[in-house]
Chains A and B, each alone.
Chain A
Amino acid sequence: MTAWLFKVFLLCLLNVAVALLLAPLCEGLMRKLRAAIHSRIGPPITQPYWDLLKLLGKEDLRSTRGSVYAAMPALTLGSALLLSALIPLAGMRAPLAFAGDLIVVLYVATISGVLIMLVGFASASPYASIGSSREMMMLLSVEPILAVALTVGAFKAKTLTLGGIINWQVQNGPSISMAIGGVAFFLALQAVAGKLPFDIAEADQEIMGGSLVEQSGPRLALFRWAMWVKQLVLALLLVQVFFPWPHFGIPPVDLVTTAVKVLLVLILVAVIDVVNPRLRIDQAMGYFMRVGVSSLAALAFAVIGK
């Protein structure tokens, strides 16, 4: 029992460490890429780390009292990291697979977003409220797509566990339905990561960062970090569930291939981010409505066995 617990703990730690430490790096890479497309030199890849470090040391200006409010950043980052422990880094089995299936993953994935919205509402700033309101609407538009895409996998693999779906994918190879699901998932990822054309909730030029407008110092650092972690983890989820090939069965090798695929996904996200202007919230919702309906095609294909 203790040995098992210890093993789970170590595996969790691995997942969490990877997510926590590599998330800023990915962000740095994306910034660099954006600069390259802009024909700028851009900040060094390690810039996000320096940003975080700097923020952690800065004065924490609080406009709202309350202990729950004070605990929000830690809870937000914690729940983002929790998500990382529910998704297998390489191989079939997530460290916390015994504690949550894909429905749990879908719900946990929303927690950090919800906490950020709450912080926005709690900070009594109309900009933050607008940001939170928009964030919620984005979540409402995007979440069904994630759910549909993952359900396709569940339907094919006849199980609700992520490991089972990955296993099925590895065994059976690519299929039309999973490909469509993957594409839909990817389109949704753009919004979940808060990248253009869907950075409507932050919209720095418009509502000054939205929900986080009143956050500063270490609190802001944690919220930022949580968002980056979430972006990385969802990219990981996309890669693992929809594109698990090639699968070698040797963890370190798989880890490397996964890392490469995740990077590719994030690069794609960054490219789309650079070449698009921001949409209005109603346009974005209409867009995702269409994506959502199209993603049902994946389900239809799955039902007829493709």
Chain B
Amino acid sequence: MISSVAVVMLILPVAGALLSVMLKGRARPAALVTAALSTAAAVWLTVAKYGSVYTKMLWHVPWLRGIVDVPVLGFLVDPLASVMLLVAAPIGFLTVLFSTAYLTDKNREHPVKSEHYGRYYFWLLLFIASMVGLAVSPNFLQFFAFWELTTLCSWALISFYQTETSLRAGFKALLMTHVGSGFFLLAILILFARTSSFDFSALGMLPDGLRAGVFVLLLIAAWAKAAQVPVQTWLPDAMEAPTPISAYLHAAAMVKAGVYLMARTLSGGWGFPAKTVLLMAGMALVTILVALSFYFVQDDLKRLLAYSTIAHLGYVLLGIAVGGLGSTLGLRGAVLHIICHGYSKATLFFCAGVVSYVTGTRSISSLRGLAKTMPLTATAFFVGVLSVTGVPPLACFWSKFMILSGAMRLSGAIGPCIVIFILCETLISFGWMLYIAQKIFLGAPLAAAQVAADPPLAMNATLVILMIACVAAPFVGMPFVQLIGK
């Protein structure tokens, strides 16, 4: 039963993708239904397997027979995977829902004709499938396979509009994340060469020095995927993608794959040398700082959100590193941050999408006073901003707080130093984001704002659901998170 639901969860979006290609202009209902069913399956799976670790290996890889005789493809549903599923699947569904209204010829920024629907929903649903597959991967091999699939889909989706810049951005994203994947592959090869196993737990069998090496390779891969310094530059450019795609790929799902890899690697408790983990923490702090420094010059709303995403992925990696240094609370906070940030940032991206949908622009300087004509969007944006910047009682406060308290648990002065650093960053980014929110939504309306109105129902519904999620996410995530590292 469980395994069949899992298979359904994985197969449905693929089927939806194929259907979309066939239905072309009428792809929307099919996409919507398959995404919804897959989400339902994912949610059911997490609830049904709550509190336990469910592993089911189903398939062999034919050409590996003789070297590994056990099945290497299957499902792993543990609390960590559950959290990832709860991010990947529902936000995927919401993205599809939002896209049904966003990707129309009524869109003022990028009118899309119905003949492109097939292509769009194909890649989007394939991405959902690969993300779901990645979340339930039981070993590095499957993880890598889906990892690469997400990269591929992301390339296609970023370049969806097929303009010069979007093609370039898609290629850049593909190139940079793919170079990272090379390191991932290298790590897997070393692992497999030494232990003849792809399992996460095989890391524990490696000798100490090599384990550190593999860890660093994985770390580089994760950096590339999660857009961390020094390979962060593809993410802001990837904002050329349609906004729902940015919301899903570049806030909730794909970039989270990178941090999910690190969470997987470090949550098993195979002690990695403190130096490498400190490197991870240090780079996370550097990333946060670098991303912050780019806030102040952005005029494109989505690019601003992209930099904020980079910083928040830095938070997650920081939390994971804190976990790696021995404070489980930090790891839990980081995992909670995956879900909290996923929903909050998706809210913001969707709002940006709504704004560009009705006004035709994403330029912060040409937007003002939108709250007057689109109160719901304004509310959602404020909720999103306050949530992302960690204002209690909204979602990210909880996860940030857990990361901070995890850091505080570390012995020595490092904990308080991290906390002070993070709090300073929080204040600055909070101030700036609030300032931007005020600038866009409050004030006397400019011409662009006067014609605006709250968008179609599908978009509004998405925003309302996400607003609720911005409050509820920690309460959903907390029960799962507290099982991690036990």
Decide if A and B touch, CB cutoff 8 A: no
